Structure 1
Amino acid sequence: MNQKHLLRFIKRTLRQNANEIVTVKNGVPVTLKTVFEDMKLDAYDLNVDILDVHADRNTFHRFDRFNAKYNPVGESGLREVFLKTDNYMNGTYFANIIKEVIADLAENKYTYLEPRISIYCKNKNEWSKLATWALHNDGHSPHLRWLVQVPRLYDIYRIKKLLKNFQEFLSNLFDPLFEVSINPTANPDLHKFLTQLIGFDSVDDESKPENPNLTETMKPPQEWDDEENPPYTYYLYYMYANMSVLNKLRKEQGLNTFVFRPHCGEAGPAYHLNAGFLLSQNISHGLMLRKTPAQQYLYYLSQIFIAMSPLSNNSLFLRYHRNPMPDYFARGLPVTLSTDDPLQFHFTREPLMEEYSIAAQAWKLSQCDMCELARNSVLQSGFPHEMKQYWLGQDYMQEGPAGNDITRTNVPNVRVAFRYDTLLDELDMLFHAHED
């Protein structure tokens, strides 16, 4: 949702449910009205400025301030009440907001959503609670598929003695999934929720300092009991390894499988992109590819999709005019435009339209360019095969112009043929270079 949507929802809830108990402090039930009275606020006083959830110039290169913006009115208590699935009210308010977003999607008709929802890996019950929240609150829609994001916060949990080693972190993430894949009746809610889940994301501030030296003698997860956080590539490898086994199991069981789509190359060192290249189906952001032409060429040759969010990057790591998206697009990398945290970076009820309209104006994109970006977004999405056939044509999986139905995509065959022939020429040049 955007900030005005959240503001309207909070004000309406405060007027209609003021006496509802929303949390417990020191063993004493606390109503929503009391929460706001403690902050010396009422529904009439609230406005967008006081809510203060929109990114500004102070968040640039400050990931801590970016995270703090998720606290409405700067109060973590309000984040707990309105934006969490696991709270005193079992995430009722957050579910109601999601339902309103789903209603907007149905009304808009042509916008589809892949929202991230967090599994923190503190314990194994998180999956069950999340599935129960999603199903009991009717959090499904033809316009929506979930992605689970896993924050790289092992070091914080270890310092707080919540985990003994990194293997516990991985076990909390994957053990419930293996169990329900083998025996769906063990947790019917989780089994149903996983049919609406398309994959996993790995998130955090990539610019955090870390030890980049991965060696053969590095501790395995069961022995990693340090308070130091494992490197980015360590996280990605063990998530990928577990996902590979899980996907093979689920495929044998006739169940849906998952993709790995991490935040990669938004900031930090370029070797993060090596891990993304080797381990992920596609990535988000990929800004650091602009500094490493060889890596950029590998991503092009492999046609790894990159979901880019220039408005988000503009507030966090890279000013809009320096964003490499138009360069990637011109060179033939399969990029697409995506929103990232509409609550913080967008103003209207159609945040994806903001991304496309601003990109078209700033980079002078043609209608053909816009349609190609939209086609790329459908191709890289996690929506079902039948839905992609409906939007792109029956033969969309074929390469080159044979897979393009211009009546559905509005992308001319000559554009698709140019992309395809150029890629084949590059691959042909590489594979036959030794013959010259």
Structure 2
Amino acid sequence: MVRKNRSLFFVGYDSYSESPSASPILLDDLDGNDDTPDQVLAFDACAGIRSQLQERNSRALKLKGASAGGDLNLDDLDMIPLNTKFDVQMEMGSPMAMPPETLPPIKPLTAKDLAYSSLAHLPSYFFEQIHFHVERKCLLDMCKLRRNYLTISKQDALACSQSQSAKPSQKNLGRIKDETLRTAHLLDSNEENNLTSPRDSSYIIQLCNGHVDVPTFIEYRQNFERCLRIIQDRSLSKFSEKRLQYLLNKFPVFQYLNSKKEMRQSKNVPHKDFYNCRKIDLNLLLSGCFSQWQLTEFIWSKLKKEPNKIIYQTSNGRHITLIQLFKVDFEEANTFSSGLKIIDDSFLEWYKVIYLAKYHLINSDSETFIDPRDKQFRHYLIAKTFLEFDNCINGEYLSELLQTFLIKPLETSKYQLCQLSVDFQFYFHNGNSDVDNWWMVFANWLNHYDLFSKNIRWNVRISRIYPALYHTGKIKSFQDYLDLIFKPLFNTKSYIHKSLGPILSKFLSRIASFDLCIQDSDDYVWKQFTNVDCPPENWTSNGDNPTISQYMYYVYANLAKLNHIRHALHQNTFTLRSSCSSTSMNRTSQFSNTLNFTEHTESTLNNFLLSSGGFLNAENLWNAPPPLVYVFYLSQIPMVMAPLNSIVDSKATIAQDQCPVGLVLEPPKPYKMNPFMKFFEMGFRISLSSESILYNHSYTKEPIIEEYSVAASIYRLHSADLCELLRNSVITSGFADTLKNKWLGTSLVSHNYFMENIGFVDNWYDCKPDTSLDHNVPAIRRQYRSKTLAGEWQLVIS
């Protein structure tokens, strides 16, 4: 077990060099019962609040006595003056209006006035007594439960670091002092002999056989339903909604009062502005990492240089050349004219809706799905030839596109990096299963074309396509689906003798996270209702798709097992991330028989409990229950959004009957309907991503710069806002902690300077009094975020 007694501090600092302005809040020591009444909780420092409370109670007694004495009669209601807007103008704006000699009586505040009152930041129980069926401290229990799940699976930043600490009793270990982290740790001085000891070998064999202390699925389901009951409490929902509204209204006031100070502090940092700060695209898809015009220009250049290159072979042995691909009916006559926009909107929509959902994830013969005489066959060949790495030309064109339009620009630009997301494809070859799998094929492709880059980390996307695999007859249960993903990585002999090869090891060392994608095209309708508590080897269910919770838990359990093995081998570990589809809000979850909730709530709560890497497509979090959104803020869980990717303006050329089952084509939404700015103002740990440049109609060579520039122009963001977003993208990324130390001046080792917590599991400390020289986020902005978060925690745990 790792770090059982871990404490989380929230400290408000007056300056980075001085001591804290208030004593820190130790959350782990506040689990006991507090007998302090609600009326006096942390509000003694506010002037006049206690007197207002007494005044309100006295007025309530007077009103009660008056009503009992009969002073107020219903017949007197017609004598109540009805003031109009003209009367108010005459009293307040007319020069002839005389001020009243006596002040009007103060009207007592009620719960209905909170939304419009200047005291809306005060909790609701200050004005009326709300009886919580679920205490606010349960939010702290949910966060602690999340931290336990993440530390057990070694998803915390200390476990994910590149260099792991070894046991002092092992041989061939040299003591090396790391000046950057100011700590001493043990590194292996002879890697070849590290795994030859019987103790290490037996321990790794035990890990591969499943000896990992991970909570069972039944226990996880109980914890899930417990958290679900907490977030469904009505009084807690009202409390969370008011706190979120307060956070949203507080930030503009802070900017109005401190914008000049922030601007002055930003200008004091020389040679460090938005363009000179590190910026990381956390979720850029390999299937769309170049723009539409770049792909079109590349195709025309290949048609001029090598028109007779064979790019496909049909099942009957016929070869199709590159020039034949762009001829009508694949004949010699009626060729396409030069300058034609080959990659048009119709192809992009077919590629996104049809190809990526049906043909991309399963590596099989396409002619069983598409008739070669169909017009969609040309679209399929274009996607297979230029946008796939495993094809007739061994992914040559995709490697050139990736090298030309992504890797070289990133390496040329010092301050741009990305985490590139690739879809895991399911192979059904009859060859050697230890070599002929997706892991080895993709790693060999990267190594063959030298696509490894220091500016790129990889994310592996896992899709919920169990029904499609089941109906092919290649798998018989949900366990077979999981084995296709993780079994090549759990080969005990391969780990002990390192027969997986240095190429695969090199690729695994550059993987940051595993992403479980909940998409609109996922199968939803069940033909038979199977008990979800059954083990995955018993889940056949006639091809029905398992629930989101089953996917999340079993991916989490296998990832925890893999992380324990890699941690024992002193290698980097991986984090888990997930997304949420927009159509899941209208789908009832099938995970519970006693509680009613949607798949949207299910996927969001699963991400909160099991994912350390963050929440993808965070636009959909806006529609989650308020307590769940509020606890995302309290935990500072990383979130990734791509506003430009949600406003694609393409014509609907795909018929609804051609779409996958359950997918409804929705019209695009305008940019300002994206809740990105609201999340940022509240203080969520959010960052921007390009996601898929292919659909954004981008005409620049720096899409991540374009993403931030559009947001800055629409929302009028200044330097402090942009630099804060960039810092969020770096500190929540999957790059090594030593690089974050160099870029941001932060460390996982405790220091006496500013500290911030991310995900309720990782504490990052500043290594020097003022780190704004590294990221140019003003100190006053960081103090505001820290004090606001500490105030919310004080309100929750009181």
The Cα of 1:362 is off from its aligned counterpart by 1.7
Is the 1:81–1:91 contact (alpha carbons within 8 Å) kept by the matching residues of 2? Answer: yes
Aligned to 1:376: 728
The yes-or-no answer on 1:153 pairing with 2:465 is yes
2:545 alignment partner, SS class: coil
Asked whether 1:88 is paired with 2:392, we answer yes
Helix, strand or coil: the match of 1:145? strand
Mean alpha-carbon deviation: is it higher for 22-31 or for 167-176?
A: 22-31
- Structure 1 counterpart of 2:545: 229
Tell me whether 191-200 or 393-402 shows the greater mean CA deviation: 393-402
Q: CA deviation at 1:219?
A: 2.9
Identity, in percent, stands at: 31
Deviations 1:295-340 (A, max 9, x none): 1111111111001111112337643211111111111110011111
Please, which of 205, 215, 218 is the counterpart of residue 533 of structure 2?
218
Aligned residue number for residue 637 of structure 2 = 304
2:652 matches 1:321: no
| 2: CA distance, partners of 1:121 / 1:69 | 11
- Aligned twin of 1:421: 787
Equivalent of 2:321, from 16, 21, 31? Answer: 31
Going from structure 1 to structure 2, the CA distance change for 1:68 and 1:265 (only over 3 Å counts) comes to closer
For 1:8-157, list aligned pairs within 5 A: 8-25=297-314, 26-37=316-327, 38=329, 41-42=335-336, 44-47=338-341, 50=344, 52=346, 63=353, 75-100=379-404, 101-123=406-428, 125-157=437-469
| Structure 2 residue 707 is matched with structure 1 residue 391 | no
TM-score where L is the length of structure 1? 0.89
Residue 774 of structure 2: which of 408, 423, 431 is its match? 408
**Alignment length, in residue pairs?**
428
**Cα shift at 1:232:** 2.0
Render the CA deviation track for 1:241-290: whole Å, top value 9, x for unaligned.
Answer: 11011111101111111111222365512221001111111111122321
**Residues 392 and 52 (structure 1 numbering): CA distance in 2 closer, same or farther, change over 3 Å?**
farther
Deviations 1:119-154 (A, max 9, x none): 123445111111111111111111111111112111
Change (3 A) 1:273 1:211: farther
Shift of the 329–385 alpha-carbon distance from structure 1 to 2, 3 Å rule, reads same
- Please say if residues 50 and 73 of structure 1, whose CA atoms lie closer than 8 Å, have aligned partners that are also in contact: no
RCO greater where, 1 or 2, for CA within 8 Å and sep 6 or more? 2
* TM-aligned CA distance change 1:258 to 1:395, over 3 Å: closer
> Where do 1:164-243 residues align within 5 Å?
164-179=476-491, 180-206=494-520, 208=522, 210=524, 217-225=532-540, 226-243=542-559
- Give the match's secondary structure for 1:240: helix
CA contact (8 A) 1:166 1:224 kept: yes
How far apart, in 1, do the equivalents of 2:707 and 2:575 lie? 24
Distance 1:74 1:358, change over 3 A: farther
* Secondary structure of the structure 2 residue equivalent to 1:205: coil
Closer/same/farther in 2, CA of residues 184 and 267 from structure 1, 3 Å limit: farther
**1:203, CA displacement in angstroms?**
2.1
Q: Mapping of 1:262-341 within 5 angstroms?
A: 262-264=578-580, 266-268=582-584, 269-281=600-612, 282-291=614-623, 292-315=625-648, 318-341=669-692
Between 1:216-225 and 1:267-276, the stretch displaced more is 216-225
Tell me the SS of whatever aligns to 1:75. Answer: helix
Residues in 2 aligned to 1:126 and 1:163: alpha-carbon distance in whole angstroms: 16
Q: Which has the larger radius of gyration?
A: 2
CA deviation digits over 1:208-263, x for unaligned, max 9? Answer: 56379x99753321112231111222211111111011111101111111111222
1:367 equivalenced with 2:716 (yes/no) = no
Secondary structure in structure 2 of the residue aligned to 1:340: coil
Which 5+ residue runs of structure 1 have no aligned equivalent? Answer: none
Residue 245 of structure 1 is matched in structure 2 by 561
Deviations 1:6-29 (A, max 9, x none): 111111112212222211112223
The verdict on how the C-alpha distance between 1:3 and 1:207 changes in structure 2, with shifts beyond 3 A counting, is closer
CA contact (8 A) 2:423 2:461 kept: yes
Maintained 8 Å contact 1:250/1:257: yes
Q: Matched residues in 1 for 2:520 and 2:346: separation?
A: 25
- Take 2:604 and 2:414, find their aligned partners in 1: how far apart are those partners? 35
- Distance in 1, matches of 2:337 and 2:505, equals 40
Matched-pair contact (CA < 8 Å) for 2:579–2:603:
no
The letter for the 2-side match of 1:134 is: L
The answer on whether the counterparts of 2:443 and 2:507 sit within 8 Å (CA) in structure 1 is: yes
1:382-418: per-residue Cα shift (whole Å, max 9, x none)? 1122222222125487624962610111101111111
For 1:157 and 1:205, locate their aligned partners in 2 and report how far apart those are by CA, in whole Å.
17
1: distance between equivalents of 2:422 and 2:359?
17
Question: How has the CA–CA distance of structure 1 residues 217 and 259 changed in structure 2, closer, same or farther, with 3 Å as cutoff?
Answer: closer
Q: Distance in 1 between matches of 2:377 and 2:709?
A: 30
1:65 and 1:85 map into 2 onto residues whose CA distance is: 15
AA aligned to 1:329 is: F
> What is the letter of the counterpart of residue 690 of structure 2?
T
RMSD: 3.0
Distance 1:41 1:103 in 2: 34
TM-score normalised by the chain length of structure 2:
0.50
* Counterpart contact for 2:387–2:398, Cα < 8 Å: yes
Range 25-34 or range 193-202, more displaced: 25-34
In structure 1, the partner of 2:243 is none
What are the Cα deviations for residues 30-78 of structure 1, in whole angstroms up to 9, with x where unaligned? 22222223455447143266475556xx99xx95598699999970111
- SS at structure 2 position matched to 1:360: helix
Q: Which moved more, 1:356-365 or 1:181-190?
A: 181-190
Matched, 1:163 2:475: yes
Q: Give the Cα separation in 2 of the matches to 1:183 and 1:46.
A: 54
Task: Work out the CA distance in 2 between the residues paired with 1:220 and 1:46.
Answer: 54
The residue type paired with residue 253 of structure 1 is L
1:258 maps to: 574
Does the Cα contact within 8 Å between 2:616 and 2:641 map onto a contact in 1?
yes
- Given that residues 647 and 670 in structure 2 are in contact (C-alpha distance below 8 angstroms), is that contact kept between their aligned partners in structure 1? yes
Amino acid at match of 1:154: Y
